[in-house]
Amino acid sequence: MLPTFPGGMHVHDGKELTKDRAVKAATVPPLVIVPLSQHLGAPCEAIVKKKDAVKRGQPVGEAKGFVSSPVHSPVSGVVRDVVAAPHASGGKVQSVLIENDGKDDPFPGVDEETDPGGLSREQMIERVRAAGIVGLGGATFPAHVKLSPPKDKPIDTVIVNGAECEPLLTCDYRLMVESSETVVRGGDLVRRIVGAKSLILATEDNKADVAELLRKTIADLRIPDARVMVARTKYPQGGERQLIQALLGREVPTPRRRGLPMDVGVIVQNVGTCHAIYMAISRNVPLIERLVTVVGDAVAEPGNFRVRIGTPVRSLLETTGFRTDPQAILLGGPMMGAAVYTPEVPVTKGTSGILVLSSVIDAEPRDCIRCGSCVKVCPARLTPLDLSLADEAKRYDLAEAWHIDDCIECGCCSYICPARRPIVQQIRHAKAALRKARSAAKAG
């Protein structure tokens, strides 16, 4: 029996649509939009101004604080402006607009090869930080923070997360297929940095072919204490906490007590992040491009693309074309992706997919029939039906007592509900109300 975690569910993954489409370089647009906030934590501050000339890989936003991450120019050209521009979050975010001169001139030092063997742990972490690397699986947590666990939290295992449990997305899969060596080497570097003993490359059994390839890569590169683990395909296996539970049987303490994977001696990094870490440390390449799956029933030519950060979604969709008029564009996968209100929003560090759909779900919710399905699938082992009712009754105190803060917003409950209740939406609403009440309590 392959390992997996309790809860969760099977969703038709639809990966066959793009799985075999090799990564193509997307057109670099004449104008890129680089938001100053593409990560979890404090937004960065612009360090360029209108009319400044910039090179590819040059920092344009400097991190404010430890839990923050710098941003770089993905092209060479001239800064048109620093303004608030549409962002995937729904609002507008301060962004650096750069006119591409088409020359792609690198910033001094970028692309320079270095032997990581000669770097100290601190030097490597600094490179990762300076390269603006954040979790590319979608959480966008600054990678250097994860790589600096406090001394009293020894790490024994590094997990390279190639579960890619979101349906339809295949960019992580393509990365593993096409760049297995950098992924493995990146994972190995992470292990060196945190001083862990074992390295696990994790994937799911719907990608069994890639497991073989990774095994071969490990053997070819003679990486010691590294193994490939294949989990039974289930959503949301790619969730950090779920993956750790599935592979190691360890339960990460609740976020209510600030529990983190390092509390159980584990660090999880997405395959894309590992690749980026390798590129940053050994080639001094900052995070200015990533792989994106473009798919959906309204897309004519779905596929996987290497996209410069800051490329407007519209520009990418010009390459793929529409089959029908889209009714919704999502950044991310169908389970957790966020719908955007305009195709002008740029691809950011956390954009793993662009989903273009010809229709959206328009179901009338009805009263809960207490079928228990949501309880069964909830990987956080909550009772989503109660949280949904608590939000409806505005009893946020009850929602809190029922551990609403442990919800990872995976969407399983809403997906499975036969009464079509928008449970996750209600949970987000209740969480926001609680946050507001808490900050009011702090202020008052």
Partner 1 sequence: MTETTPPAAAPLKLRVTSSPHIRTPESVPRIMWTVNAVLAPAGLFAVYWFGWRALLTLALCIGTALLTEWAIERFRKVPSCCLDGSAFLTGLLFAFVMPASQPWYVSVIGSAFAIAIGKHAFGGLGNNIWNPALVARAFVLAAWPVATILGAAWPRPGAEATPVLFDLKSESVAITAPSPLTDPEVASVAEWRAAVDGNLRRATGLPADAPAGQVYFRLLFGLRNGCLGETMGILLILGGLFLWFKGYINWRVPLVFIVTTLVLTFVLPEKVRLAGGAVGYTPWLSGDPLRHLLGGGLLLGAFFMATDMVTSPVTNKGLVIFAVGCGVLTALIRLVGGYPEGVCYSIIIMNTAVPLIDRFSRPRTYGEVAA
Contacting ligand SF4 within 241-300 (CB under 6 A): none
Name which of 226 and 416 has its Cβ closer to partner 1.
416
Q: Which of the listed partners (ligand SF4, partner 1, none) does 249 bind, with a CB threshold of 5 to 8 Å by partner kind? A: none
Taking CB within 5 to 8 Å according to partner kind, which of ligand SF4, partner 1, none is near residue 338? partner 1
Nearest partner of 160 among 10, 300, 271, 286, judged by Cα: 271
CA distance 183 to 276: 8
Residues 74-93 that bind partner 1 (CB under 8 A): 90
- Rule CB under 6 A: is residue 399 a binding residue for ligand SF4? no
Contact 261, 252 (CB under 8 A): yes
281 binds, among ligand SF4, partner 1, none (CB under 5 to 8 A by kind): none
- Closest CB to ligand SF4 among residues 119, 246: 246
Supply the minimum distance, in Å, between the C-beta of residue 251 and ligand SF4. 14
Could you tell me where the beta strands, DSSP code E, fall in 313-395? 328-331, 338-340, 353-357
Nearer to partner 1, 181 or 322 (CB): 322
DSSP state of 30: S
The β-bridge partners of 72 are: 59
Residues from 353 through 392 that contact ligand SF4 (CB under 6 A): 368-374, 377-380, 382, 384-385, 388
What is the smallest separation between the CB atom of 166 and ligand SF4, expressed in angstroms?
13
> Hey, is 223 helix, strand or coil?
coil
Among 413, 426, 430, 431, binds ligand SF4 (CB under 6 A): 413
Long-range own/partner contacts, residues 313-318 (CB < 8 A, 24 or more apart): 313/340, 313/343, 313/344, 313/345, 313/346, 313/347, 313/354, 314/343, 314/344, 315/26, 315/27, 315/29, 316/26, 316/292, 316/347, 316/354, 317/343, 317/354, 317/356, 318/27
> CB of 62: closest distance to partner 1 in angstroms?
32
By the 8 A CB rule, do 136 and 309 touch?
no
Among 277, 279, 416, 430, binds partner 1 (CB under 8 A): 416
Classify strands 77-86 and 92-100 as parallel, antiparallel or unpaired: antiparallel
Is 425 near partner 1 (CB under 8 A)? Answer: yes
Residues 130-169 that bind partner 1 (CB under 8 A): 167
116 Rama sector, left if φ>0, alpha if ψ -120 to 50, beta otherwise? alpha
402 binds partner 1 per the rule CB under 8 A: yes
Indicate the SS3 state at residue 210.
Answer: helix
The interface partner of residue 92, options being ligand SF4, partner 1, none and the CB cut-off 5 to 8 Å by kind, is none
H helices present in 117-166, as ranges: 121-130, 143-146
Applying CB under 8 A, does 64 fall inside the site for partner 1?
no
Neighbouring CB atoms inside 10 A of 418's CB total: 11
Using DSSP's 3-state secondary structure scheme, residue 272 falls into helix
Could you tell me the smallest distance in angstroms from the CB atom of residue 192 to ligand SF4?
A: 34
Q: Which stretch binds ligand SF4 (CB under 6 A): 48-56, 135-143, 294-302, 421-429?
A: 421-429
Span near partner 1 by CB under 8 A; candidates 104-112, 127-135, 204-212, 404-412: 404-412
Question: Pattern 235-274, binding to partner 1, x per CB under 8 A?
Answer: ------x---x-----xxxxx---x---------------
Query: What character string, x for contact with ligand SF4 (CB under 6 A) and - otherwise, covers 97-136?
Result: ----------------------------------------
User: Which partner in ligand SF4, partner 1, none is near 254 (CB below 5 to 8 A by kind)?
Assistant: partner 1
Q: Which of 82, 379, 390, 400 binds partner 1 (CB under 8 A)?
A: 379
388 binds, among partner 1, ligand SF4, none (CB under 5 to 8 A by kind): ligand SF4
In the DSSP assignment, the letter for residue 207 is: G
User: Of these partners, partner 1, ligand SF4, none, which one is at the site of residue 421 (CB under 5 to 8 Å by kind)?
Assistant: ligand SF4
Are residues 279 and 290 in contact, defined by beta-carbon separation less than 8 angstroms?
no
Nearer to partner 1 by Cβ, of 61 and 312: the residue is: 312
Nearer to ligand SF4, 179 or 388 (CB): 388
Task: Confirm if 304 and 17 have CB atoms less than 8 A apart.
Answer: no
Does 171 interact with partner 1 (rule: CB under 8 A)? Answer: no
Q: What is the DSSP string of 96-110?
A: EEEEE-S--PBPTTT
- Report the SS3 class of residue 346: strand
From the list ligand SF4, partner 1, none, partner contacted by residue 425 (C-beta under 5 to 8 A by kind) = partner 1
Tokens 């975010």 sit at which residue?
93
Question: If you ran DSSP here, which 8-state letter would residue 363 be given?
Answer: P
Task: Please list every residue from 303 through 362 that binds partner 1, using CB under 8 A.
Answer: 314, 317-318, 320-323, 325-330, 332, 334-343, 355, 357, 360-361
